[in-house]
Amino acid sequence: MRIAIFYVLAALAAMPFSAIAKEAHSGGHGPVSDQVIAEQRQNLAKNTQGKGFGPQSPRDIDSVSGNNPVIFSPAPAYTQMNLCNIHFHKNAEHKGGEFTQYAGNGDGHGYQSGYQYTGKLTQAELAPVDKEVCPSKHGSLHPG
């Protein structure tokens, strides 16, 4: 029950962002200004203050320090879970490992931002595939 309440509160807290992004960027799919990002972060901070949670991303998952006193037990094996919301991203949501190059502000709606891969890929890994992967109005995924 607690987790359901958390998701409802997180969704409610995020609702004002779509209005802000739409006002500041109501057109193409280009990157938004730093001002739009600052306003989104300010509203998120205001709407989540004292509620015990904040943004899911971006987070630096290479950081070993933090201030969350909650210790979580290990998750059960994936075969015992009812997985949902499996999705792909053009860039990583979180900074960590070899995903460390900031992709930019994005379009204010969660697209074209995140962290890009900075590691090395082999020629085989960079080889094009024979069809588009996850095509949408925001683009598609491609090797590299």
Instruction: Give a yes or no: residue 13 inside a domain.
Output: no
pLDDT tens across 45-71, in order? 899 888 877 777 667 788 777 777 777
Angle at 49 between CA 32 and CA 52, to 5 degrees: 110
Q: How confident is the model at residue 23 (pLDDT cuts 50, 70, 90)?
A: very low
Instruction: Give a yes or no: residue 96 inside a domain.
Output: yes
pLDDT tens across 104-130, in order? 999 888 888 999 999 999 999 999 999
Mean per-residue pLDDT, 12-17: 51
How many structural domains compose the chain? Answer: 1
pLDDT tens across 78-98, in order? 899 887 877 777 888 888 999
Instruction: Give a yes or no: residue 110 inside a domain.
Output: yes
Instruction: Give a yes or no: residue 28 inside a domain.
Output: no
Q: Tell me the residue range of the domain where 97 lies.
A: 92-118
Beta bridge partners of 101: 116
Instruction: Give a yes or no: residue 108 inside a domain.
Output: yes
Q: How confident is the model at residue 32 (pLDDT cuts 50, 70, 90)?
A: very high
Mean per-residue pLDDT, 12-29: 48
Instruction: Give a yes or no: residue 49 inside a domain.
Output: no
Q: How far apart are CA 21 and CA 31, in angstroms?
A: 11
Instruction: Give a yes or no: residue 102 inside a domain.
Output: yes
Residue 58 and residue 95 in contact, taking contact as beta carbons nearer than 8 Å? yes
Whole-model pTM: value is: 0.59
